[in-house]
């Protein structure tokens, strides 16, 4: 059935995920939803030095929020911070250098962050699509380490801080590509068989949807959501999917259009009127499975995923410095 899923997803993408899809959906947006003052609220955005992460951080900064940029590359991050401060006039922009593919670094960062800051909204945006199987220094497959385990550790490590906050939210930037994948827990690090970076990425994004649903059930005081930004013209798309970019570049969304739903989920009062744990596209909850695609997984597999990630994360926590 994989050919069917891919075909349906691509047709759906041409209709909904492009710039035209955004422009059509945005006719129904209420601008007042995001015309809010969030001064005094604290937001953490991972992968914030470019693309959707930077666009989101910039719009939150315009609205007065305190923004913590979590980035891997110090030089690019400093340029992004300076740009955000200059364009918004908001001085409450803080920079943290963390590699989201390095679980020990995340634990160390989160421990320090909890002692020094408050947090109202966590935005898990950092991600990667590595097209050849590559291992991190910890022996983890890099896509899994960044997209799934990194997201899991960053969120679970900061849950105690979020539990203390008013109107706490966690937003994870996923992808519509997850619609072509059924959750697979037998080979989390893609070590068996041929390696297809695009499908590994889509599997990671399916895992993020499952994580969000599981967290929403377990943590009732926090509003969890996961979203698809559409097909946006970002540095990550250009570098990881050059053929796709060349075919679609004239139809791709801008970074700001891709970030719009992240911003809406992060700042609007309307977002939290909807149930926690939903998957969003263009400010609306949408199904997490295509019709007849057979991508639903049994509850025990979803629970097993959480158990496996917890075991992974604790292994790295136990050797974390400090």
Residue 81 placed within a domain: yes
pLDDT one-digit tens code per residue, 145-168: 999 999 999 999 999 999 999 999
Average pLDDT, integer, range 235-248:
82
Residue 161 placed within a domain: yes
Checking if the pLDDT of 2 tops 60, the result is yes
CATH code assigned at 110:
3.40.50.720
Q: Which helix (H) or strand (E) holds 66?
A: strand 66-71
User: pLDDT at position 8, please?
Assistant: 73
pLDDT band, residue 246 (cuts 50/70/90): confident
pLDDT band, residue 232 (cuts 50/70/90): confident
Alpha helices in the chain (DSSP H): 2-16, 19-26, 51-62, 74-88, 103-116, 142-143, 151-163, 197-218, 235-240, 242-248, 255-267, 299-318
Residue 164 is given by DSSP the state T
User: pLDDT at position 248, please?
Assistant: 82
User: pLDDT at position 224, please?
Assistant: 98
Average pLDDT, integer, range 88-104:
98
Residue 309 placed within a domain: yes
Which member of 17, 201, 245, 294 is catalytic?
Answer: 201
Checking if the pLDDT of 320 tops 50, the result is no
pLDDT one-digit tens code per residue, 64-87: 999 999 999 999 999 999 999 999
CA distance 13 to 21: 9
Q: Residues for the chain: how many in total?
A: 322
User: pLDDT at position 9, please?
Assistant: 67
Checking if the pLDDT of 10 tops 90, the result is no
pLDDT band, residue 217 (cuts 50/70/90): very high
Could you count the other beta carbons within 10 Å of the beta carbon of residue 15? 11
CA distance 150 to 204: 11
Angle 26-93-278 (CA atoms, 0-180°, nearest 5)?
Answer: 40
Residue 265 placed within a domain: yes
User: Range with the lowest mean pLDDT among 5-19, 125-139, 299-313?
Assistant: 5-19
User: pLDDT at position 249, please?
Assistant: 81
pLDDT one-digit tens code per residue, 171-189: 999 999 999 999 999 999 9
Residue 320 placed within a domain: no
Residue 321 placed within a domain: no
User: Range with the lowest mean pLDDT among 14-18, 177-181, 303-307?
Assistant: 14-18
From residue 241, give the alpha-carbon distance in Å to each of 148, 182, 232, 284.
20, 22, 12, 27
User: pLDDT at position 322, please?
Assistant: 43
User: pLDDT at position 238, please?
Assistant: 84
More confident residue, 244 or 138: 138
Where in the sequence is the domain holding 174, given as residue range(s)?
3-315
Sheet holding 121-124, edge to edge: 93-97, 66-71, 42-46, 121-124, 168-173, 222-227, 278-281, 284-285
Residue 47 placed within a domain: yes
Checking if the pLDDT of 319 tops 50, the result is no
Average pLDDT, integer, range 271-287:
98
Domains: count for the chain: 1
Residue 322 placed within a domain: no
Mean pLDDT of the chain: 94
User: Range with the lowest mean pLDDT among 220-229, 240-249, 307-316?
Assistant: 240-249
CA distance 77 to 83: 10
- Whether 4 is a known active-site residue: answer no
Could you count the other beta carbons within 10 Å of the beta carbon of residue 245? 16
């Amino acid at each position: 059935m994989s050919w069917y899923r891919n075909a349906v997803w691509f047709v759906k993408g041409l209709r909904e995920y492009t710039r035209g899809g955004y422009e059509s959906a945005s006719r129904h947006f209420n601008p007042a939803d995001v015309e809010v003052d969030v001064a005094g609220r604290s937001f953490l955005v991972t992968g914030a030095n470019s693309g959707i992460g930077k666009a989101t951080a910039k719009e939150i900064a315009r609205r007065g929020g305190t923004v913590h940029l979590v980035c891997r590359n110090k030089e690019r991050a400093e340029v992004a911070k300076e740009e955000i401060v200059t364009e918004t006039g908001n001085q409450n922009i803080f920079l943290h250098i963390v590699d989201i593919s390095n679980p020990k670094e995340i634990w160390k960062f989160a421990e320090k962050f909890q002692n020094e800051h408050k947090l109202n909204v966590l935005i898990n945006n950092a991600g990667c699509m590595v097209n050849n199987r590559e291992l991190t220094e910890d022996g983890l497959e890099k896509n899994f380490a960044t997209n799934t385990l990194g997201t899991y550790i960053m969120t679970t490590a900061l849950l105690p801080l979020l539990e203390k906050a008013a109107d706490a939210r966690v937003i994870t930037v996923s992808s519509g590509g997850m619609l072509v994948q059924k959750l697979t827990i037998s080979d989390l690090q893609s070590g068996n068989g041929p390696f297809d970076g695009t499908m590994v990425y889509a599997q990671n994004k399916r895992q993020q949807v499952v994580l969000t649903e599981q967290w929403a059930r377990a943590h009732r005081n926090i509003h969890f959501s996961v979203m698809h930004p559409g097909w946006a013209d970002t540095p990550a798309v250009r570098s990881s999917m050059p053929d796709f970019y060349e075919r679609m570049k004239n139809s791709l969304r801008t970074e700001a259009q891709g970030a719009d739903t992240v911003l809406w989920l992060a700042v609007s009062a309307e977002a939290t009127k909807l149930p926690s744990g939903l998957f969003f596209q263009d400010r609306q909850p949408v199904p997490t499975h295509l019709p007849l695609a057979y991508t639903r997984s049994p509850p025990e597999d979803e629970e097993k995923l959480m158990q496996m990630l917890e075991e992974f994360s604790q292994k790295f926590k136990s050797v974390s410095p400090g």
